[in-house]
Amino acid sequence: MNRLWGYISVIMAMIFFGISNTFNKILLQTLDPIDLAALSYCLAAVFLFLVRYSPLKNNLSSLLDTGHDLENFMSTKDYLILFTTALLGIVIAPLLYLNGLKYTTAVNASLLLIVEILFIIIIGTLFLKERFQKKDILAFFLLILGTVLLVTRGNLQNFFISYSWGNLLIILAAFFWSIDTTLSKFLSFKSDIILITALKSAIGGLVLLGLSLSMDLKIQISLNYLPYLLFVGIFSIGTALILIYLSIRIIGATRAGSLFSLASLFGALSAFLILKEPLTIMQLFFGLLMLSGVLIFYLNGNTNNNKT
């Protein structure tokens, strides 16, 4: 049952993150990438601290209890990892991605983020000693194939079109996010996961805010855009980060990070519903390929778990 919650958590995080791509595209019309990242993560930090010190804290802690042996203390090494992941995953990676998004198409950006899967697999196998079954390889293939076909709309020639500075920034963002996901495994077994997520968001958000102030950027946002910002900060960052930590705790950093490629599917659906971008039958078929990969991961994971 715990493994089921691991997959549910990562899928919910993917939905929130996928929708954020559409909202970020809208918000970039009025905000600088640095300001957008700073506001989003500071808002997430405020939300998480309010939750952490509210009467809901005990109920949420019991809900997040997966039955694993959790650690109640934070060592110097843990704080170092926390600061490193905040710097890589909240400061560097989002700035690279949002700036890259300004110089390339959304299709290219979604496609190039797939390389995060490969980075995560390499890091997981080399440093975390995570093992894969033959069925997992098939799942990886379906996820990558489905994602590539989805974002290129079945025309693989689009993969080689317009290699620009923006594309390079997207690839670099994927690399730093892969390190963030991998290192987060060491913090995922801490009992107070809400506080850890709040601290991580606060560290990154304050660094970004300081960077914005040092560059004399003026943060201005219309009230019409405020709902998009609130959703990104509270759900796509604050809630999604907790769900990611929970999924990493249950199913592992490599598998959780790899399944996160499904965010492109939910990004396409949100673009269709909100931005009125076209969504064809073929695109839905490509999405089913990706969902097949998730199903294989889940069934294979349950089989291995029952044998142990």
Q: How confident is the model at residue 226 (pLDDT cuts 50, 70, 90)?
A: very high
Per the CB < 8 A criterion, the answer to whether 9 and 250 are in contact is yes
Q: How confident is the model at residue 54 (pLDDT cuts 50, 70, 90)?
A: confident
Gyration radius (Cα) of the chain, Å:
19
Alpha helices in the chain (DSSP H): 2-27, 33-52, 57-63, 76-86, 93-103, 106-112, 115-127, 134-152, 165-183, 193-214, 226-231, 240-251, 253-259, 263-274, 281-307
Per the CB < 8 A criterion, the answer to whether 236 and 103 are in contact is no
Residues spanned by the domain of 173:
2-307
DSSP code, position 54: S
> How many domains, the chain?
1
The widest CA-to-CA distance across the chain, in whole angstroms, is 59
> Which pLDDT belongs to residue 193?
84
Reported as a single tens digit per residue, the pLDDT across 247-295 is 887 887 667 776 776 676 777 777 777 777 666 677 677 777 777 776 7
Q: Look-up: residue for tokens 């194939």? A: 145
> Which pLDDT belongs to residue 67?
57
> Which pLDDT belongs to residue 88?
95
Q: How confident is the model at residue 162 (pLDDT cuts 50, 70, 90)?
A: very low
188 CB-near residues (< 8 Å, 6+ apart):
245, 246, 248, 249, 253
Is residue 186 within a helix (H) or strand (E), and if so which, with residue range? Answer: none
Per the CB < 8 A criterion, the answer to whether 205 and 38 are in contact is yes
Per-residue tokens: 83: 């600061």
Q: Look-up: residue for tokens 């890259």? A: 100
Reported as a single tens digit per residue, the pLDDT across 77-123 is 999 999 999 999 999 999 998 888 777 766 567 667 767 776 877 78
Q: Residue 84 and residue 200: Cα distance in Å, rounded?
A: 9
What SS3 class is residue 161?
coil
> Which pLDDT belongs to residue 179?
92
Q: What percent of the chain has pLDDT over 90?
A: 24
**Alpha-carbon separation of residue 190 from 61, 65, 233, 246 (angstroms):** 11, 11, 23, 10
Least confident of 12-16, 233-237, 267-271: 267-271
> Which pLDDT belongs to residue 100?
84
Average pLDDT over residues 180-207: 88
